[in-house]
Amino acid sequence: MKKQKGFIQIIALTLATITFAIVFPIYLIVSTLFGFAEPCRLKGYYKCDNYSEGSFDDEHTDFYKYYYKEDNDSKFANSKYYKKIDENDIDLLEPYLVNFEHALKNSNRLEGYDLNETMIDTTDYYTMWRDDEQNFDFENGDYVIYYYDTNTHVLYNLDVKR
pLDDT along the chain (162 residues), means of 10: 66 60 47 48 92 73 95 95 96 93 91 93 95 75 93 95 83
Dihedral sign (CA 24, 25, 26, 28) = positive
pLDDT reported for residue 24: 44
pLDDT reported for residue 28: 40
In order of 22, 47, 64, 102, 104, the CA distances from 53 in angstroms are 33, 19, 11, 16, 10
Q: What's the one-letter identity of residue 17?
A: T
pLDDT reported for residue 40: 77
pLDDT reported for residue 17: 60
CA atoms in the 13 A half-sphere facing the CB of 59: 5
Burial class (CB in 10 A: 0-12, 13-18, 19+), 86: exposed
Strand ranges in the chain using DSSP code E only, listed in sequence order: 47-51, 60-67, 83-84, 125-130, 143-149, 154-161
Cα–Cα distance, 17 to 58 (Å, whole number): 31
pLDDT reported for residue 150: 97
Residues 6+ apart with CB under 8 A from 75: 42, 43, 44, 68
Q: Note the Cα 147 to chain centre separation in Å.
A: 10
